[in-house]
Amino acid sequence: MRILNSPAQANGGNGDRKNLDACTIVIFGASGDLTARKLIPALYHLFKENQMPADFRVVGFARREKTDASWRTELRAALDQFSRTKPVDEKVWAAFANNLFYCQGDLTDDAAYKKLETQLAGFGSGPLRENLLFYLAISPSQFGEVVEQVHRCGLLNKEGSAWQRIVVEKPFGHDLASAQELNRELTRYAHEQQVFRIDHYLGKETVQNILMFRFSNSIFERLWNRESVDHVQITVSEKIGVGDRGGYYEEAGALRDMVQNHMLQVLSLIAMEPPVSLEAEAVRDEKVKLLKSIRELSPADVGKQIVRGQYFAGAVNGDPRPGYRQEVKVKPDSNVETFVALKLFIDNWRWSGVPFYLRTGKNLPQSASEVRIQFRPTPNVLFAAQCGSQLDANALTLRLQPDEGIYLRFNGKVPGTTIDVRPVRMHFSYDAEFGAYTPEAYERLLLEAIAGDATLFIRRDEVETAWKIADAIRTGWERKPLTNREFYAAGTWGPIAADDLLAQLGHTWHEPQLLKKLANQ
């Protein structure tokens, strides 16, 4: 896993780039939103930054009838809307578009896969035909059939000198049993090492930098334990409501949508032990060990340590929002959670007794993701009389989005003849330090999948361990309606019950603050 900060550094710092094999990327579900919004823009930018293999092809597979030319035209229009750099470079696009091809076919039609095999054979008998990355931008219910079909027509093999890989999107199951069944379907025709389960959160620059920050800076690593850390807060807040995703949210809820994947992944990186190397399996071994160290939750524990919430009508920054139960495709008496707060304990030597607080929700005051490491306060003997409540505990915040960066909060004396103290901050901003080049998450993840580096992808046992945690929580919620203290107005920071959760140990939530705004204070 590498941290790329500028075009020169992205190419290795000396003009070199990753040594990538020639290959063909086959996107199943090529007519979908994900392809237009994320995948093709990501591949275009990798090509523009000279990150793609010297020889490659992209084949879109979908049911709608299109030609190569019409598909390219559609994607060019989408790029105007979704490219992270504008305007689109016409010369770069023309060169990139020459590598885009379309294959019309139904996912359930045997003949369509034969047609795909013939099209790939037309690229020659070398690596463009044999080195294949299958991106399944389709419903998880279709994963098994597609994998079986590409295996039956000779495009996917467990053995051989060439490589084939499968990239799958979340949701990866809806509980432990379905995730285990999905894993069995995928590994029936492919090795676990060929399966790349994507979580776009792991492609974010600051998420990747967590390991670099922790294990390359001795001043912080020696503080990263129960002796120095009082508690940890992980917040992923969203200004938007469920919108037109009411039907999906009725099935998923915030726990399945955000906690089981994104938030537990961030927690594992923040709290894991140092891996023996940066090899993919070494890093993922430590993440799994951390997840398995999270204290198991009984139904009684869920009642004490987990809070769910649901928004009712309100306003976000003056914008009126309907209540969740008034959203499209939502049941009028729904108990589905749009907010979750958790207090988790990690039963290992490093973190024994340290509470980890996680929260995520819809229709909150701002969209932000951050991790706050709250250090233990100093003994209350030196400055307590003069400073009182102004004496704040030190904290380190890793801002994942937006305004990616890190800031350290500590106490400073206000200039003057009296002993007055004020919390101050030291800021580090990715944008200010490294300039504008920050790859999108899908750029990094696609590049690593092409290279065969699974560090940023989720292993089978990671998925299943995370589902065990989520399933225990859902069991504790079973047949229990939401209480009045679990509802919150749109535009607020969640239900009163979430504040009660932290108050049990004398803690309070810290609201995310925009780094750019702080820097100007």
How far is CA 311 from each of CA 207, 324, 367, rounded to the nearest angstrom?
28, 6, 16
E strands along 255-348, which residues?
306-312, 314-316, 319-321, 339-345
Token pair for 325: 């139960």
Instruction: For residue 512, give the 3-state DSSP assignment.
Output: coil
Instruction: For residue 234, give the 3-state DSSP assignment.
Output: strand
Query: Which position has the token pair 């019409």?
Result: 70
DSSP-derived secondary structure letter, 182: H
Backbone angles phi, psi at 321, to 5 degrees: -130, 140
Alpha-carbon torsion, ordered 274, 19, 12, 55, to 10 deg: -130
Cα separation of 79 and 42, whole Å? 10
| Contact (CB, 8 A) for 233 and 355 | no
Ramachandran category for residue 234: left, alpha or beta (phi over 0 → left; psi -120 to 50 → alpha): beta
Query: Which position has the token pair 């089978």?
Result: 460
DSSP-derived secondary structure letter, 294: B
| Spatial CA neighbour of 499 closest among 359, 367, 297, 370 | 359
Task: Report how far Cα 317 is from the mean position of its chain's Cα atoms.
Answer: 26
| Spatial CA neighbour of 76 closest among 67, 66, 58, 89 | 89
Cα separation of 176 and 184, whole Å? 12
Active-site annotation holder among 191, 262, 427, 507: 262
Token pair for 435: 């300039």
| Contact (CB, 8 A) for 401 and 424 | no
Residue 262 among the catalytic residues: yes
Catalytic residues: 262
